[in-house]
């Protein structure tokens, strides 16, 4: 298990009417950090989905980002993403202000580690 890819789904529930702003800030400030981690080999892939229709408020989510990590160790190795953010965004004042705004738009955020279930008998 330790050397296998490790999948985590990250769910974001955003204030009504703010999804486009949240997604714009996510693409601008967080996605480049994830892409840099792909280049470093820590992450194998990043995909994003959103529901086509809305659901009930208690079960609503607006964005699901699925990250396939190289291994589970990549989540526990004390890697400092802020170093990448400093390299990618020299204007740290703007970066920090926009990241603060992105988090202000959130109503909820949760992470779901995914474990494969084998359905075929061995």
DSSP secondary structure string, 59-109? G--SEEEEEEES-GGGGTS---HHHHHHHH-S-HHHHHHHHHHHHHTEEEE
pTM here?
0.91
pLDDT digit string, tens, across residues 79-89? 999 999 999 99
Q: If you search the block for the tokens 């981690």, which residue do you land on? A: 37
Q: Which helix (H) or strand (E) holds 38?
A: helix 31-40
Name the DSSP letter for residue 122. -
What percentage of the chain reaches a pLDDT higher than 70? 98
pLDDT at 1 over 90: no
pLDDT at 68: 97
Q: Which fold has domain 6-114?
A: Alpha-Beta Plaits (3.30.70)
Q: Average pLDDT of 53-71?
A: 92
Q: Which helix (H) or strand (E) holds 39?
A: helix 31-40
């Amino acid at each position: 298990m330790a050397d296998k890819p490790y999948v985590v789904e990250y769910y974001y529930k955003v204030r009504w009417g703010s999804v486009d702003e949240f997604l714009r800030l996510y693409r601008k400030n967080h996605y480049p950090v994830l892409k840099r981690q792909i280049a470093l080999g820590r992450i194998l892939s990043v995909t994003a989905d959103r529901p086509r229709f809305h659901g009930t408020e208690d079960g609503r989510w607006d964005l699901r980002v699925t990250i396939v990590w190289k291994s589970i160790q990549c989540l526990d190795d004390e890697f400092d993403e802020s170093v990448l953010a400093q390299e990618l965004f020299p204007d740290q004042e703007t970066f920090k202000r926009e990241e603060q705004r992105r988090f202000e738009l959130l109503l909820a955020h949760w992470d779901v580690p995914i474990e494969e279930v084998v359905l075929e008998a061995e």
